[in-house]
Amino acid sequence: MAGLEPIIQKIQLRPISLPLVRPFTTAMHTVTAADAVQVDVLLTNGTVGHGAGTPNAVVTGDTMSTLQENLQTQVIPALIGRDIRDWNSLLTRLHASTSEQPAIAAVELALYDLRAKQVSIPLTALLGGQQRTVTTDMTIGIQALPDMVSEAKAFVSRGFKALKIKVGGGRLADDLERVKTIAKAAGPDIRLRLDANQAWTTDQAKVAVTELAALQLPIDFIEQPVAARNHEGLATLTAMRQLPIMADESVFGFQDALALLSRHAVNHINIKLMKTGGLAEAAKIDAACASFGVTTMVGCMIESNLSLVPAIAFAAVHDNVTFTDLDAVYMVKKQQAGIQTHGPQLTIGDPMHDA
Name the 3-class secondary structure at 134.
strand
Q: Which of 245, 243, 282, 293 is nearest to 267 (CA)?
A: 245
Give percent of the chain with pLDDT exceeding 70. Answer: 97
Per-residue confidence (pLDDT) for residue 1, from 0 to 100: 43
Question: How does residue 56 score in pLDDT terms, banded at 50, 70 and 90?
Answer: very high
Beta carbons within 10 angstroms of residue 11's beta carbon: 20
b or e along 19-39 (b: 16 or more beta carbons within 10 Å of the residue's beta carbon)? ebeeebebbbeebebbbbbbb
In tens, the pLDDT along 107-131 reads 999 999 999 999 999 999 999 999 9
**Does 125-348 carry CATH code 1.10.1380.10?**
no
Asked if pLDDT for residue 28 goes beyond 90, the answer is: no
Q: Which of 67, 129, 73 is nearest to 100 (CA)?
A: 67
Per-residue confidence (pLDDT) for residue 157, from 0 to 100: 98
In tens, the pLDDT along 186-226 reads 999 999 999 999 999 999 999 999 999 999 999 999 999 99
Question: How does residue 355 score in pLDDT terms, banded at 50, 70 and 90?
Answer: very low
The pTM (predicted TM-score) of the whole model is 0.95
Find out whether 189 is annotated in a ligand binding site.
no
Top-level class of domain 8-121? alpha beta
Find out whether 248 is annotated in a ligand binding site.
yes
Active centre residues (catalytic): 166, 272
Could you give the strand order of the β-sheet that contains 133-135, starting from the edge strand earlier in sequence?
133-135, 345-348, 339-342
Find out whether 195 is annotated in a ligand binding site.
yes
In tens, the pLDDT along 260-296 reads 999 999 999 999 999 999 999 999 999 999 999 999 9
CA distances from 312 to 35, 254, 297, 299, 300 (A): 19, 20, 11, 9, 10
Domain boundaries, the chain: 8-121, 125-348
